Every structure is written in structure tokens, then in C-alpha cells.
Structure 1
Amino acid sequence: LGSIGFPVLINLKDKLFWKLKNQLFPSTEEQTNFIRFDLNTKLVLITSSILVAAGTVLFLIFEYDGTLKDMSFFTKIVQSLFNAILPRTTGFASVNPADFQPSTILLVCLLMWIGGSSQSMAGGVKVNTVAVLFLNLKGIITGSDQTGAFHRAISEKAVLRAYAVAFIATVCVFVFSFILILLEPGQPIRSIIFEVMSALFTVGSSLGLTPVLSGESKFVLCIAMFLGRVGLLSILIGLLGHRGAKGCSFPNEHIIIN
């Protein structure tokens, strides 16, 4: 629930109350006051469900003979579900992440990068962003002039914002990882990258590196946690958002992209 986002929860609440009201007090104005699931709600719920399902299956496969080895099959399922959800929301640990297979660590890093939905308690680039990117990619491949789903079009501004968020987050992962590699030359690179992504996307998991980091490295991670919590794009817009040229339009020119 914490990763779904308040707009989605409100939409679900309104839909439920509308259903109950019309079941208990039928009215001829039912169609007039119809409450629907908006596009944002549909994309968040569908994308989140896919991520949870895929994450659970992949975690079970990767760790079946690893951290889940001595557990019953039912417990393995529960552990896989739990560990598929937590990288996108919080840093609980039911098994030791340091014992994960390399493939599992890569999976967890991807889930941390995606995170929860917009205006939720979770971090990451958000499932809304990922959904818009995939829909836009689908539109490009199929030759469509619009990005959309469920007979609704997504604004060009939202698409550009999604690309900006994904790009900035990826660059930040590289920059903070590069800084920590310079500050901690004796530490494994995979542990450093995991630590940076956990901080930047406000997850809180660790492969055991946190206690042995220097004060400088912890300060860098503090900056990453602050940026991730406030929002990378929000900070940049706040600092630079009103410095562009106003009241003028430039001619278009083609750039080769392939």
C-alpha cells in the first residue's frame, strides 16, 4: 500500500464508495455520477502486479538452492514474495542479502531502481515512469503518433518528464558509485553499487558494507539519500526551472537517432 501512492488509493476508495452507494441506494443518476479507474491507477496497478509476480518467480528460481535452500516450499514462496516487494518499498531483510546470487543482486538493483509509484512513500524512478517509457517505446516501434493505453493518450510533457527522471536517476547511480569507488578502493564494486542504489532510492538494504565505510563515504550516501527522498528532478526544477528563454520559439532541425 505504501508503494501504490495516495492518488491511486484515493481513486480506489472513491470507486469502492460509489459501488457501495449504488448497491445500497440505487439511483437514476448512477451513470451521471460514475466513478472510473483513471489511467494512472490502471498503469500503476498493472505494472506493480507484473513487477511483484515477475520478481517473486525470478527470486524463487535464483535462490531456490541458495538462501532458500533449507526452507519448505510454502516458505520459499512467501520469502520470494516478500523479497520481491521489499526492494521497491523498504529495507526489511528476512534473509541475508550478502548471501544472494549475483543474478539476484542484479534483480534487486533493478527493482530498487524502479521503486514504487508517484506520490507514494517509496523511492525509485517510479512505476509510472517505467510504464510510460514502455508505452512510448511501443508507440515508436509500431509507428504510432501518440503514447497511450486504454483509449487514453499520454501528454508529450509527461513522456519527456519520464525520460528525464530515468536519465537523471541512472546518471546519479553512476556518479555516486564512481565517487564511492574512489573513496573505498578496497571494497567490492557490486557492494558499492548496491549501497549507492539502496541509498539513492531510499530502500535501506545493504550487502554488509555500511559499517566499514569511512566517514566521507557515509556523508556521500547521506547526500544520495536526501536527493532520493526529495526527488532528483524536483530539485533540478527548483534550482534551474525558471532560467530558460521566455517568449521565443526556435526553428526545428532534424537530429539522426537510430
Structure 2
Amino acid sequence: MDSLERLLLYRKKLILPRIYQVINWFMWITYFCAILFLATLVYEHGFMISSDEAKAIRIIYKSVWIVFLLSATVQIVFQSDEDGQKNTFWSWVINVLLYLTLLPVLFKKPDAGDEGVYWTWMFFHSHYYRIAILLLYSLLQLSSSLVRLLGRRTNPSLILASSFLVIIFIGAGLLMLPRATYHGISWIDALFTATSATCVTGLVSVDVPSTFTLEGQIIIILLIQIGGLGVMTLTSFFAMFFMGNTSLYNQLVVGDMISSNSLNSLLSTLLYILGFTLAIEGIGMVIIWYSIHNTLGMTLQQEIYFAAFHSVSAFCNAGFSTLPGNLGNAAVMQNHNLLFITVSFLIILGGIGFPILVNLKETLFYYLRYLKWKCFGRSSHFPKQVHLYNLNTRIVLIMTAILLVLGTLAIALYEWNNAFSGMEVTDKWVHAFFNATCPRTAGFVSVGLTTLSTQTLLLMIILMIIGGGTQSTAGGVKINVFAVILLNLWAVIRGANRVTIFQRELSDDSIRRSNAVLMLYLIILSAAIFVMSMLEPKASLMALTFECVSALSTVGSSLDLTPVLSTAGKSVIILLMFIGRVGAFTLLLGLIKQVKKRNYKYPSDNIIIN
């Protein structure tokens, strides 16, 4: 063995393992510094700090900055393709932006006469620039660590549930900061509000505009956005887009969470989800701003904030509002039909699910390409596609339209001369449509729910149980599940041995899971109503049922019961909101050991049903 072979062997067997061990230790230090930076940032903006505390905070920021620079350097120098991690273009951009913070350290402040160089130096010397880069780098590191955790074969269901729990407790802590509220808030109300926001429910135990300051409301809307998109969706996007390729197992798990058809389209699916969310919320924000411009006595900044808050809250099906009395406030009840219609369509788009939005986008682009070919006289050569809409899209769109039409007609019928009395005809139809849309897990209020008839309340309970589409911001048993159950019922009544729709046969697994989801939902709901009846003996059964269904379906509507609940009652509602957002099936999959598939079958037998 020559000296070169000895050197290579020595490097591989002795040197590299120690280098990788040091890198691993350094990564843990980086994760700790990322958490320390975020905690310090929260402390700085959440409390009134003294001059000594400000000096300590600057020292922490500088220390974290040094650690991040060393971390980026170590990853670049000692990176190996063997660990499957490759820097993407955007990860290089982040590293370059981080290194640019060194410019003011390496070069002295230039004279103001050379404006270009002077303002460039001032920009990179800015405290806000450094904080923004450190914040972005911290989020990327923590997101990467969460996705890498999947590579350890940790149960994805438990990671999903745990991530929501972490965000909820962080949100509750942030809402208890002195700057987040006007007069303080109890821990149970902070936890209740954080859970309601993260689980995009909308139930509130305190009045939002009179309790939370602007900082507190911003925390709430951030929790809504995170909860609406999904914690794993955001962290997976950051890790895969900025931090490079992840392991095959990671990609399979994330793909299953977001219903991606292939690994090749995994990142594009994440981009679609974020892109659709920002685009729809942006369009909704513009329309809402136009609908309330110069009508509520707000400044331009307040109008923009109002529009942004309600657009995010509506698309994420959260139901939070900055107006006293929600959207039933007298300031918007008249001459604001465009506002109610816009909020309704934002709720619908957020509730049909991201896979349907992607399918609709693909269909729209298909017709645009067809028109392009037709304009050039080449339509006969256009590659035609037979099935533009997949089965899931057709079922969700048809069922959504049916429920909206029937719900609007029924509410208009029961409330025309009741809750809607005194309104103009156009307003009645708009509010009927709005109140048929909101039980699809949004929770906004335009008229007092206690003024509605019993028939309307029962209809709302049914709509709340059905909910929205899968892979959406909505809750409930999901409209896909409800459709499959109805199709199976119709097949049994007709004596058919197969469940078919649109010349497609539904799989046995889809039917079994749909029946199980509904049964599990009803079991949890029944147990919750029974427990709440003991904890809140003074409340009516209708109010308790409405509250429990609203919490479990993450709707946010209430018959004025939420603010008067006891601590134990609020705890039950918190648990229901968490189960409704994460999913009872998801929780059980994470807690119960799955049975291995076997290649044998037992003899079949029948049980007497009728």
C-alpha cells in the first residue's frame, strides 16, 4: 500500500468521522442559537425593556450572528454529497446575504459624497437588515431540523400533532406578553385564543378588538396563517426550497401529507399551495379594501390592515374579525354587500382544498392553450385531454354547489321575516348566502345567531358537521367523506354490490375510511356534549351541541356561550378544536400501532343487520 492509499484510508477512517461529529455538534449549537434569537426577539418586542436589557439583547444578537456565520462557513467547506444534502440556488442566496453583513465590519464608513457606496454601506449596516437575515436563517435552520426529524422514521402523525401543539403554546405565550393586550389576559383565555387561531376555528372567549392591541392582533393573524397553511407545509417548503434536497423517506412523508402525486412535483405542489394562498388572499384584500374605502371612518393604513386581516381570516376559514360584534357590526351591515360576498367566496376557495385549486388552475391553462392554438388556426392538431377534472374535484365542486344553493334557499325561507326582517331584498339574499357559507367552517357572524330560528340552527349544525374539502383550511368530516357515505347508502338501497359515480368505481378502502371517519366524529362529539352538559349545567342542550360541533368542526360560531364557559368547559373546547384541526384519525394513527398486512384471509360470515 503506497503512501497515497494510506493517506486516503486514514482520512476516511479517522479524520472524516471526527469532522462530521464536530459538524453535528455545531449544528446543535446553531439550532440552540436560532431558538435563543427568536426568544430574544420576542422578549424585545413583547416587554418594556431597560437600557441594561437592551445592551444584553445586542450582545445576544451579535453572538448569534457570529455563530450563524461560522455555521454557514462550516456547511460550505465540509459539505459532502454522501449525506444527501445539496445547497440549492436559494440557499446560496441566503448565505451570500448573511455574508454581506460583514461589509460594514471589513470596510469603514465611506464619505457621504459618494452616495452609491455610502447608501450601500448604510443598508448593510442597518440593524433591521441584520435582524431580518438572522430571522430568516433561524427559521430555515429550525425548518430543516424538523424535516430531518422525519428521516429518523419518527411517526409523521405525531410530528404533525406535536408541531401544532408547539405553535399553540408559543402563540399562547406571545398573547400573554404585556404589549399584546390592553389590560392583560388570563392563561386559559390566551391558550383558548391561540388554539382557536392556530386551529382556524374562530371561537373567542374575549372580545378581540377591545382585548388585544395591534401587536396582539398581528400575532393572531400570523397564527391563523400558519394554522391555515399547515405547520408541516411551511416547514417542508422552507427546508426543501432553501436547504436543498432531503432524503427519499422525507420526501415520501411530506408528499403524503400534501397529497403530491410524485416526488418530482413535490416542491411544485408546495409552491402551488403557497402561491394560491398569497394570490387569493391578495386579491381578496384589494376587493375588501375597495368595499370599505371611506365608509368606516378609518385612515388608509387602518383600511389596508382591516382588509388584510379579514382576507387572511376568511381564506383560512378562521372567522376572526377586528370589529366589535364581528361582521354583524352596525358599521358594515348596510351598503356593504360586496364585503360579505367577497368574504363568502374567500371562505369557499379556502374550503374546497388545495388539490382542487391546482386542478382548476390546470384546467384553466388547458383552455387558454386551446384558445391560443385556435387563434392560429391549429385547433384540429391540439392534443385534447378527456378527463380535465379528476373525480375528487368533480365531487367536491358539485357537493359544494348543492350545499350552498340549498343552504341559501333554506335560510332565506326561515329567516326572511325573522332575523332578516327590515332588510332590503338584496341584503336578505346576500346575508342568506353569507350565513349558508360560514357554517362551512368559517364562523363569521352577520346577524346574531341567537335570533335565528331553531330550524336554521339545526341546518347550520348539519352544515358544520359536513365541513369543507380535504387538504383545505376547513374542518368537519369533510365533504368528500360525506359524498362517499351518501353514495354508499344509495348503492345499498339499490342493492348494488359496487359504489360507482361518473363511470368510476370507488375503492373499498375509501368507503371503509369514510364510514370510520364519520363514526369517530360522532363518538367524539357525543362524548364532548355529555361532558359539557355536566360541566355547564346552566347552558341549554342546543347551545352546548352547537358549541361542541362548532369546535370539533373548527367553525367558530357560537350561541353566545363561549365567553361564559368555565375553565373546565374552555379546556374541553380547546381539546375539541385541536382534534378537529389535526384530525382524530391522524391522532389515532400516531398513537395506535398499525397492524401489518397479512396474505391470508379468514372465512367470511354474515351478521344479521335487519
TM-score, scaled relative to structure 1: 0.95
For 1:30, the aligned partner's letter is P
Give deviations 1:150-198, integer Å, cap 9, x for gaps.
1111101001111011111111111101000010111111101101011
C-alpha separation between the residues in 2 aligned to 1:84 and 1:131?
18
Name the larger-Rg structure. 2
Aligned length: 257
Question: Any conservation in 2 of the 1:14–1:35 contact (CA below 8 Å)?
Answer: no
Gaps of 5+ in 1: none
Deviations along 1:178-230, one digit per CA (max 9) or x if unpaired, are 00001011111110110101101001111001111100110110000000000
1:231 alignment partner, one of 580, 583, 587: 583
1:246 is displaced (CA, Å) by: 4.3
Among 199, 206, 209, the residue aligned to 2:561: 209
**Shift in Å, 1:238:** 2.2
Secondary structure of 2:352's match? coil
Q: Read off the aligned partner of 1:192 and give its amino acid letter.
A: L
Distance 1:239 1:202, change over 3 A: same
Structure 2 residue 356 is matched with structure 1 residue 8:
yes
Q: Which residue of 1 aligns with 2:425?
A: 73
CA distance in 2, matches of 1:82, 1:159: 32
State which drifts further: 216-225 or 96-105. Answer: 96-105
Select between 247-256 and 14-23 the one with higher mean Cα deviation. 247-256
Match of 1:162 in 2: 514
| Secondary structure, counterpart of 2:438 in structure 1 | helix
Matches of 1:213 and 1:234, distance apart in 2 = 28
Q: Is 1:48 aligned to 2:373, yes or no?
A: no
Structure 2: how far apart are the matches of 1:218 and 1:61? 34
Preserved CA contact (<8 Å) 1:173 1:197? yes
> What residue number does 2:6 align with?
none
Measured in 2, the distance between the counterparts of 1:216 and 1:56 equals 36
Which has a greater percent of helix?
A: 2
Q: Determine the structure 2 residue equivalent to 1:30.
A: 383
Residues 1:132 and 2:484 aligned together: yes
- What code does the residue aligned with 2:495 have? G
Is this contact kept in 1: 2:396–2:479, CA < 8 A? yes
Tell me the distance in 1 between the aligned counterparts of 2:389 and 2:533.
46
Partner residue in 2 for 1:85: 437
Distance apart, 1:35 and its partner CA: 5.4
The offset of 1:6, in angstroms, is 0.8
| CA distance in 2: counterparts of 1:256 and 1:201, whole angstroms | 34
- Classify 1:150/1:241 alpha carbon distance in 2 versus 1 (closer, same or farther; 3 Å): farther
TM-score of the superposed pair, with normalisation by structure 2: 0.41
2:449/2:559 contact within 8 Å kept: yes
Question: How far does residue 94 in structure 1 lie from its aligned partner after superposition?
Answer: 0.5
Q: Does 1:176 align with 2:489?
A: no
CA separation of 1:18/1:10 partners in 2, compared to 1, >3 Å: closer, same or farther? same
Q: Deviations over 1:92-150 (max 9, x none)?
A: 00001111111111011000000001111100011111111111111111122211211
> d(CA) in 2 for partners of 1:241 and 1:199?
28
Letter in 2 for 1:140: V
Counterpart of 1:73 in structure 2: which amino acid? V
One-letter code aligned to 2:480: N
Q: Which 4+ runs in 1 deviate beyond 3 A?
A: 243-248
Q: In structure 1, how many angstroms separate the alpha carbons of the residues matched to 2:387 and 2:606?
A: 44
Aligned residue among 222, 236, 252 for 2:574:
222
1:144 to 484, 496, 500: 496
Calculate the aligned-residue CA RMSD, in Å: 1.5
Indicate the SS of the match to 2:505: strand
> 1:19 Cα deviation (Å)?
1.1
Cα distance, 1:244 vs structure 2:
6.0
Bigger CA drift: 197-206 or 21-30?
Answer: 21-30
- Cα deviation for residue 237 of structure 1 reads 2.0
Aligned to 1:19: 367
Deviation for aligned residue 1:241: 4.9
Segments of 5+ residues of structure 2 without an aligned counterpart are: 1-348
Find the residue that maps to 1:92 and give its secondary structure: coil
Q: Note if contact 2:491-2:498 (Cα within 8 Å) is conserved in structure 1.
A: yes
Shift of 1:34: 5.3
Corresponding residue number in structure 1 for 2:540: 188
Whether the 8 Å contact between 1:147 and 1:154 is mirrored in structure 2 is yes
Residue 383 of structure 2 aligns to a residue whose secondary structure is coil
